[in-house]
Amino acid sequence: MAIHIPLIIVFLFALIPLTWLVLASVNPAASPASKIPSRMTMENFGRTFSGRPLHWTLNSLLIAGSTATLVLFLATMAAYPFSRVRFFGANVLLYGLVFLRTVPVSSFMLPIYLIFIKLNLVNTYLSVILTLSVLNIPFALLLLKGFYDTIPTVFEEASWIDGCSKWKSIFRIVLPQCGPGLAVAWFMTFMFAWGEFLIPLILLRKIELMPLSVGIFTTYGEYGVVNYGLLSSMSLLYAIPPILMYILIQKNLVKGMVGYVKG
Amino acid sequence: MRENTKLIVGMLSPTLIFLIFLLVAVGWAFYASFTDIMLIGPAAKSPQVIGLRNYERLFRDPLFYNSLVKSAIYTGSVVASQCALGLFLAVLMHHKGVKIKSAVAAAVTMSWIIPDIVKVYTWGAFVHYEGTLNSILRVVGVPSVRWLSEKPLGVSIIGNVWGGTAFSMILFLSALETVPPQFYEAAEVDGASSWQKFIAITLPLTAPVILIDLFLITIWTFGYFTFVYGLTGGGPGHATEIAPVFIYNESFRLYKIGYGAAISFIMTAMVAMACIGYLILLRRMERV
C-alpha cells in the first residue's frame, strides 16, 4: 500500500544515525562515515570500562541513584495528603507543581549556579543531587498522586478502626498496593537525572567529578582528533538505561503519556 | 482533625523546604541581576549594585536581539515540523492494515529516548562533512556540504525534529485511540475520502490534544539548551545562539553572570507566560 512509503522513509531517517552509532562502537577505526567495520572488536567497550569513562559512569550512577531515591522518599510522603485530604492551598500547590514541571531546566541555570556559589557548594555532588531532586519532585509527586488516587480508601479506614495510626496505615496498607507506581517513579526520576547535561555542566567543573553526559561532551573536544570508536561505545552504554525503560513500559507508554499531560 | 493537620504538615514540609530553596535561589538571582557580579575577578567577591543598568544594556545589545530572532526561527520551525510530522505519522499508523507500525514507532521513539548528549553526538557525526548524510546525498548526485558551518541552524532544526518528534507522535496516537471507529465507518459508508475523514473527524476530535502538544513543545524547544549547545556551541559566530545558549555563553564563557541573570529573567518571563497559558488551557479542558 502507498501509505507504507512515507513510513519507510521516516523509519530509515530515524534509524540510519542510530545504526552508525552501533557500527562505530564495535569498529576500532571508526569515523563519521557509515561502514561495516572490517574487523569487529570489543576494544572500545574495554576502554569504556576503565580509567576516566568508568569513573564518569560511576559518577552518573551515584548522582542518578541518589536523586531518584531522595525524590521517591520526598514524593511518596508529599503525594499522600494531595490524594486523601482536602486542605487549604492544595489546589494552588498542585497548579504550582504542574507549572514547575513544565518550565525548562535552562530557566533555572543562573539561579542554581548563583545560590551554590553563595553556599560554596559548586564542585560537589551534593549541589547536583539537590538541584536535580528539586527539579524532579513535581513529576514524581504528580505521578504518585495519580497512583494513590486509584487505591480505594476502604482498606485504610478499616485499619484505622482496628487502631492503626495514619502513618502506620500508609506504610502497611497504601505503599504495598502501589509498588509498581513506586518503581516507575524511581526509575523515571533516575532516567531524567541520568540524562541531565546542563546542571552538571555548570555545577561540576572538575574532570573527576563529571557524569557521563559532560564527560562525553568533554572527550569530544579533547586532543584535536576525535576518537569516534570510544565515544560511540560510551554513548551506547550511556543510552542503555533509557532504552531498558522503553522496553519495559513500551505497552503503557501511549496511555501513560495522556496521564502525564493531564497531570 | 488535629491528627490530620499534623499528618499534612509532617508529610509536606520536607518537600516544601526543597521548593522554598528553589524560590530563594530565584530570588537571589533576581537580586544578582541588578549587580555587576562576574564569574571571576574582584567583581566576583564584592559585586556592586548597579540598578537597572544590566536591563538597559540588554535592550541595546544586538546579540540579545540576535538570540531572540534565532530562538524564534528555531522554535517555530521545530514546533511546526514536529507537530505536523507527529500527526502525520500517527494518522498513517492508525490506518488499518499497516504492517510496520511497531517498527516505525520503535525507531522514532528510540531516537527520542536516548540521552540528549548521545543525540547530539550521533547527529553531529551524521551531518559531519565525511558523515552519512553527505554519502547518501552523493549517491543521488548532490555535492558534499559542510553542514555545521554552512547551514548550522538548519541542521540543528532537523536534528531536533529527528530526536524529538516521538513525543508528539505518541501523544497523537493515544488521542486517536479515543476516537470511536464508528465515526470513520459511517463516513466510509457516505463515500468520504481519507482527506475528508481527516478534516471532518480526526482534526476536530484531536484539536485539544494538538493545542496541548503545541504549548508543551513550544515551551520545551524554546528552553532546550543541550542540543544546540552541544552541536554548535551557538556558532559559528552567533549563527545558532538561541536564548538559553546566549545566557550560557554570556555567563560562563564571558563571565558576565550578573548580565546573564538579567537575560535569564527576561527569558523566564516569556516561558512563564506560556506556562500560565498552558495551565489555563488545562483548566478549561477539565471543565468541558
Residue reference for cell 496505615: A169
Query: CB A107 to CB B117 under 8 A?
Result: no
**A-B C-beta contacts closer than 8 Å:** 270
Task: Let me know if residue B161 belongs to a domain.
Answer: yes
Question: Which of A33-42, A101-110, B53-62, B65-74 shows the highest mean pLDDT?
Answer: B65-74
Task: State if pTM tops 0.80.
Answer: yes
- CATH of residue B166's domain is 1.10.3720.10
Task: Let me know if residue B39 belongs to a domain.
Answer: no
Q: Please report the pLDDT score of residue B4 as a whole number.
A: 76
How large is the ipTM? 0.88
Q: Does A11 touch chain B (CB under 8 A)?
A: yes
- pLDDT tens, B20-36? 999 999 998 888 888 88
Task: Let me know if residue B12 belongs to a domain.
Answer: no
Mutate to test the interface with B, among A1, A106, A153 (most CBs of B within 10 A): A106
- pLDDT tens, B84-100? 999 999 988 887 777 78
Give the HSE-up count for residue B180: Cα atoms under 13 Å, Cβ half-sphere: 4
Tell me how far CA of residue B127 lies from CA of A3, A100, A108, B80, B227, in angstroms: 28, 35, 31, 22, 14
Query: CB A253 to CB B109 under 8 A?
Result: yes
- pLDDT tens, B131-154? 889 889 888 988 888 988 889 999
Task: Let me know if residue B32 belongs to a domain.
Answer: no
Q: Please report the pLDDT score of residue A67 as a whole number.
A: 96
Q: Give B140's contacts in chain A (Cβ within 8 Å).
A: none
Q: Does B277 touch chain A (CB under 8 A)?
A: no
List residues bridging with B49 in a β-sheet.
B35
Average confidence score pLDDT of chain B: 88
Q: Please report the pLDDT score of residue A263 as a whole number.
A: 45
Mutate to test the interface with B, among A22, A107, A234 (most CBs of B within 10 A): A107
Mutate to test the interface with A, among B113, B134, B247 (most CBs of A within 10 A): B113
Mean pLDDT per segment of 10 residues, for chain A of length 263 residues? Answer: 84 92 85 78 81 90 95 91 83 87 90 90 93 94 88 82 79 80 88 93 92 91 76 91 82 60 51
Q: Which residue of B has its CA nearest to A104?
A: B223
Q: Please report the pLDDT score of residue A152 as a whole number.
A: 83
Domain assignment of residue B193, given as a range? 54-287
Whether B191 shows a pLDDT value over 60: the answer reads yes
List residues bridging with B35 in a β-sheet.
B49
Total number of domains in chain B: 1
Task: Let me know if residue B11 belongs to a domain.
Answer: no
Angle (CA) B235-B237-B242 rounded to 5° is 50
Whether B11 shows a pLDDT value over 90: the answer reads no
Rounded to the nearest angstrom, the minimum Cα separation between B144 and chain A is 13
Distance (Å, rounded) from C-alpha B271 to C-alpha A213?
A: 26
Distance (Å, rounded) from C-alpha B127 to C-alpha B66?
A: 25
Q: Supply B101's cell numbers.
A: 507500525
For chain A, domains (ranges, CATH) are 1-41 (no CATH), 51-262 (1.10.3720.10)
Choice between B77 and A46, residue whose per-residue pLDDT is larger: B77
Task: Let me know if residue B187 belongs to a domain.
Answer: yes
Query: CB B115 to CB A242 under 8 A?
Result: yes
